[in-house]
Amino acid sequence: MMRSVALLLLLLSSVASAQTVDWIEQFQNQGFSKFAISVQTEVLRNRFDASNYLVSKVVLQYQTGLWRAQATINNNYEQIFQIEPEPTAISLPQDAALVRPSNQPNDVYRANFPLSFALGLSSEQVGVSMFFSVLMEKVAASRLKVSETQGGVFTAQLKPMNWEKQSLLAGLRGYATLGNLRMHLGIMPTPVLSIGQVDLPYRFRNDILPFGELEFIQPYFRFGLSAHLRSISAFYMQSLPNPLPNISEPIQVAIRAQRGIATFNFQTLQLDIGVPLTSDLAASVGIERVWYSSTKFSRGEFERWLNTATLNWTNSPNNLLQEQSFRAGATFKFGAQTQPILKLADLKLLHQNIFQSKREYYAHNPVAILTLHNADKRPVWCQVTATLGNTGRFKSEPIQIDADELRDVPIYLYLSDVKQFQISRIGELSISVELDNRRLPLANVPVVILNENAWDGDTWSLKFFIAPNDQQVQLFAKTKYLRALTGDSTSQPARFHQLRRFITELGKDLRYVPDATTSMVVDQVQSPRETLEKRSGDCEDFVVYLASCLMAVGIHCAIVDVRPKAPQSVVVPTAEPGAIGHLFLLVDTGLDVTQIGQLGLNEFEAISRQNPLGKTTLWLPIETTVLSSGFETALKMGAQQYYREVIEKQGIIKGNVHIYDL
Amino acid sequence: MLCSTVISAQTKVWIKIDSGTALYLHPYQQQWLPLSAKEEVLAKTFMLTKKGAKAMLFKETEVYALPESAYFFIEDVLPKSRVEIVAALTQIEAEQLPKSTRESRERKLPIGLTYGESIADTTSSNIAAIPYLNERLNAVEYFLSNGRYDAALLSQKRLLTKFPVLYQDALQAERLFMLYDKLELYGFLNDETRRLLSIKRSAEFDKMVERWNSIAKTKLLNR
């Protein structure tokens, strides 16, 4: 009885055992081929009878495009279960004789999976596959036979009986990838077609058993958790540099641990290592150990288990008597389309600091230049992808790189519109290349992601803070503009006086607060909405605020940037040397230059300039920091600056003054 | 930084008024101030002389007579070398705050096709409304008649740049071209005529511009 129970325990552990590493899958990921074959052998040692078993399997794979077909031939993978029959109680006539051979064996259940195959579609993002397996079941049991001889004499004897049945099992699995996570869901193989005797005393389960697995995939490692109704497991796989010369494919080290969660308690631990020897050949070795912790297992429990068991038919040489095993194998690829060899020749990071406010800029201007070298003898098509955590992404157009060509690929970034971070942080720009539906990691570069208000000190970048379409800005500006339009209408030209009243309204209650920026902190610029709420700000904040409000009602503006040449000893707290300076605004009156006389302004106050519509109109220089003092003061100060910087110091032709149309 | 009162040293000149009235535009007070009989003023600003005014400009030992009933930029009166004239012409264009060329950093794709041709915008311009137009023209004619082509060119260029509508006046445009020719500034002449040729005007006007353009090209090729 005890032996029988022990065997059952072993059966349970092995059948529920974890999968071994699919080396074809791993090896194909490193270099694609149409045909692949993997031969795996395993020595299983049984601690109960101290015997060793040699089992083996051969896996064949064919892949074309996204389609993949796989067949597995198992040798000596039979699982044998010995089950002690339950005591039989019958009433017999007194003279009945029961003969039981002394060597009468216990009931035996044999399950064998000689052949399995799978067909599926697999891509980087999603995949689905159907898999099938041939199951051969044999049961040898004893049955009591009572016969009546002549004269009413009864004879009872245990008679050996055999059953045999072949079944086809079918299962389904699929996966989907979201970012770095991959979710697998499926149904374990279930009998769908049977040949032979149908009613066996013991039989394989026939219910639907789901399973799930979640993987976290990174360029150099992957980690996963999986579960079904009888056990849970975890695995970790790490890629290590291959020390062999001229072999770029990495060594893979996989560790898997499993624990039973059903009636029977067991743990397993596996360690497998795969070493690519050439681009067509890889070797693998592994070891597995199983621990048991249960001593009792009734026949009833066994039957219930057997009817719902999960028989792992795909990868593992599961044997009933397994306690520890040693594995070795080889995987070959034939007719290989050797994966094109793309190498990272150079990577120039153009922007160490990524300003979230400049998302429009990074969409049109590269943050890095990648130089790829096609070391192959044929041209390749590839796509370069880049991710910056959850903040930004990029995928290039398909690029053709000729044989032995060096190609520069600009890396742009499409940053999320969601304002995610109020503080700056360190991020990692991960760059990879996709070819033949595979993604090869190329580089991870640390960058600083600055908060929404951070400004690089480049006046041109201020345009990214200007938000004439902001709802709150629009509402405020239009209300004030309406008030300006409905004011005194006798003064001519009306347009100029409306503009004067509008700017006066916009400047009311504004409080100038000098920037507290130090040399250690990146300058911060308020959004126009923030300035509206606070009614205070510095030079850049007011330029952004006034320009947003004016543009909200269709008035053209330009920023005048005055940059004194900074001495070398001065620490400039902005991105570009010499960028610190002062800003004022040019506002387009929309009036023809010949109307300058009607305004009562001189040539230093109203500047003749071409507007975005191609018309030469009068523009007013407005000093935004004194807006609260009224339009006249702001205009006078602006005109003084215009005269001093543009005419007197000749700032434009000397390069100290720059104009940025908005 | 904002209210810096430190004004970089710029040329100052003495103005002596023998008779009549003259004013100058104070660039920091932003208003016209009457000039006294002898006064030192900044050179980078405008001066206006009334009819009958007799004024002289002194710079060190040099003396220059100033036109009456004229509006001009004081610094234009001072004689200039060829290099200084080129620099002054560049500065005149820069004072109109040209558009930044940095826009090319953005990839702006065309969103539609444009048909037709550029035409001059004359709808809202009124030449007669230009303040002190006669005085400005008087100054140019005075410099021209006195053989001061450098002062005449700068005054004319300043006038036309500030009020581009005057380019449509063939007389004014041709006067500018003639002054470029006198001073052998054929690069400027070529640029100005090519720019005007891209804007279709009357056939007669275009013919005149084409003639000056061919002169500029011939001179440049034979240089």
Q: pLDDT tens digits for A610-644?
A: 887 778 888 999 988 888 888 888 888 888 888 88
Question: What element of type H or E holds A330?
Answer: strand A324-334
d(CA A546, CA A519): 27
Q: Quote the Cα angle for A487-A489-A490, to 5°.
A: 135
Using the structure block, give the residue that is written with the tokens 């070493």.
A275
Smallest Cβ–Cβ distance between A594 and the set B96, B105, B127 belongs to B127
Chain B residues interacting with chain A (CB cutoff of 8 angstroms): 1-4, 7-8, 10, 25, 27-28, 30-32, 44, 46, 87, 90-91, 94-100, 102-103, 105-107, 121, 124-127, 129-131, 161-165
Residues of chain B with C-beta less than 8 angstroms from the C-beta of A460: 100, 102, 105
Taking Cα atoms as reference points, which of A445, A637, A464, A474 lies closest to residue A552? A474
Percent of chain B predicted with pLDDT > 90: 9
Instruction: Give percent of chain A above pLDDT 90.
Output: 9
Q: How far apart are CA A502 and CA A550, in angstroms?
A: 9
Give chain B positions within 8 Å (CB) of A596: 130-131
User: A658: which chain B residues are within 8 Å (Cβ-Cβ)?
Assistant: 100, 102
Share of chain B above pLDDT 70, in %: 84
What is the structure's pLDDT at A337?
Answer: 57
CA A255 to chain centre: 22
Q: Predicted confidence band at A120 (pLDDT cuts at 50, 70, 90)?
A: very high
Nearest-Cα residue of chain A relative to residue B119:
A614
Q: Chain A residues with CB inside 8 Å of B7's CB?
A: 644, 648
**A643:B28 CB<8 A:** yes
Question: B51 to chain A nearest CA, in Å?
Answer: 20
Interface contact flag, A660 B100, Cβ < 8 Å:
yes
β-bridge pairing B38-42 and B12-19: antiparallel
Q: How many residues does chain B have?
A: 223
Residue in B closest to A625 by C-alpha: B2
Tell me: the pLDDT tens digits for A336-352?
555 557 888 888 888 88
What are the phi and psi torsion angles at A185 (to 5°)? Answer: -135, 150
B95–chain A nearest CA distance, Å: 6
ipTM more than 0.90? no
With residue A594 as reference, give the H or E element that holds it: none
Q: What pLDDT, on the 0 to 100 scale, is given for residue A374?
A: 86
Out of A361, A608, A647, name the one closest to residue B163 (CB): A608
CATH class of A342-450: mainly beta
- Chain B partners within 8 Å of A619 (Cβ): 97
Residues of B in contact with A647 (CB under 8 A): 27, 44, 91, 95
Please tell me the least confidently modeled range out of A133-147, A298-312, A467-481: A298-312
Backbone angles phi, psi at A406, to 5 degrees: -100, 125
Contact by Cβ (8 Å): A118, A61: no
Closest CB to B94 among A539, A593, A652 = A652
Q: Which of A432, A392, A396 is nearest to A411 (CA)?
A: A396
pLDDT for the residue A128: 94
Whether residue A604 and residue B30 make contact (CB cut-off 8 A), yes or no, is yes
User: Is the pLDDT confidence value at A273 over 90?
Assistant: yes
Q: Which is more confident, A576 or A170? A: A170
Written as six digits, the tokens of A102 are: 């002394």
CB contact under 8 A, B131 and A596: yes
Query: What is residue A481's three-state secondary structure?
Result: helix
What is the spatial distance between Cα A35 and Cα A64, in angstroms, rounded to a whole number?
A: 9
Q: Do A586 and B44 touch (CB under 8 A)?
A: no
Cβ atoms A187, A145 nearer than 8 A: no
CB contact under 8 A, A460 and B102: yes
**A62 part of contact set with chain B, CB < 8 Å:** no
CB contact under 8 A, B95 and A460: no
User: A494 vs B178, which has greater pLDDT?
Assistant: B178
**Selected residue with higher pLDDT from A639 and B198:** A639
Cβ distance of A597 and B161 shorter than 8 Å: no
Note whether A640 contacts B105, CB cutoff 8 Å.
no
Residue A347: phi and psi, rounded to 5, are -140, 115
A552 phi, psi to nearest 5 deg = -65, -25
Instruction: Give me the amino acid identity at B187.
Output: G
Residues 344-383 of A with CB under 8 A from B: 360-361, 364-365
Q: What pLDDT score does A263 carry? A: 57
Would you say residue A176 has pLDDT above 90? yes
Q: Which tokens belong to A552? A: 């909200």
The per-residue pLDDT for range A409-441, each reduced to its tens digit, is: 899 988 877 665 667 778 888 888 887 667 788
Least confident of A104-118, A222-236, A372-386: A104-118
A-chain residues near B44 (CB < 8 A): 647-648
- Which of B28, B46, B130 comes nearest A594 by C-beta? B130
Q: What integer pLDDT is reported at residue A578 of this predicted model?
A: 39
> Nearest C-alpha of chain B: how many angstroms from A487?
25
- Residue A473: its pLDDT value, please? 86
> Is pLDDT at A462 greater than 70 in this prediction?
yes
**Closest CA in chain B for residue A642:** B95
pLDDT band for A212, please (50, 70, 90 cuts): very high
At A313, the pLDDT band (50, 70, 90 cuts) reads: very low
pLDDT band per the 50, 70, 90 thresholds, residue A140: confident
Q: Is the pLDDT of residue A151 over 60?
A: yes
Contact B30 A640 (CB under 8 A): yes
Q: Taking the complete model, does pTM exceed 0.80, yes or no?
A: no
Q: CA of B88: how far to CAs of A460, B165, B193, B220, in Å?
A: 28, 21, 19, 21
Compute the average pLDDT of residues A600-610: 85
**Chain B, nearest residue to A657 by Cα:** B97
Domain range list for chain B: 163-223
Q: Are A537 and A513 in contact (CB under 8 A)?
A: yes
Measured between CB atoms, does A615 come within 8 Å of chain B? yes
Residues 6+ away with beta carbon under 8 Å from B108: none
Pairwise CB contact (< 8 Å): B32 & A602: yes
Residues carrying CATH 2.60.40.10, chain A:
342-450
Q: What is the dihedral of CA A644, A519, A429, A451, to 10 degrees?
A: -80
**Tokens (6 digits) for A599:** 């305004």
Which segments of chain A belong to CATH 2.40.160.40? 2-334
Which of A595, A619, A648 is opposite residue B129, by nearest beta carbon?
A: A595
Give which of A362, A460, A594, A626 to mutate to test B binding, by max B Cβ within 10 Å.
Answer: A594
Q: Please name the residues between 391 and 450 in chain A that touch chain B, using a CB distance below 8 Å.
A: none
CA distance B156 to chain A (A): 16
Q: Does the pLDDT of residue B117 top 70, yes or no?
A: no
Across A553-568, average pLDDT: 76
Q: Which of B90, B100, B165 sits opposite A659 (nearest CB)?
A: B100
Confidence of residue A101 (pLDDT cuts 50, 70, 90): low
Question: Strand, coil or helix: what is B120?
Answer: coil
Superfamily of domain A2-334: monomeric porin ompg (2.40.160.40)
Task: Give chain B positions within 8 Å (CB) of A512.
Answer: none
Nearest to A602 among B8, B25, B87 (CB): B25
Nearest to B8 among A596, A603, A649 (CB): A649
* Average of per-residue pLDDT across B77-101: 82
Distance from CA of A581 to the nearest CA of B (A): 8
**CA–CA dist A548, A662 (Å, integer):** 10
What pLDDT is recorded for position A224?
94
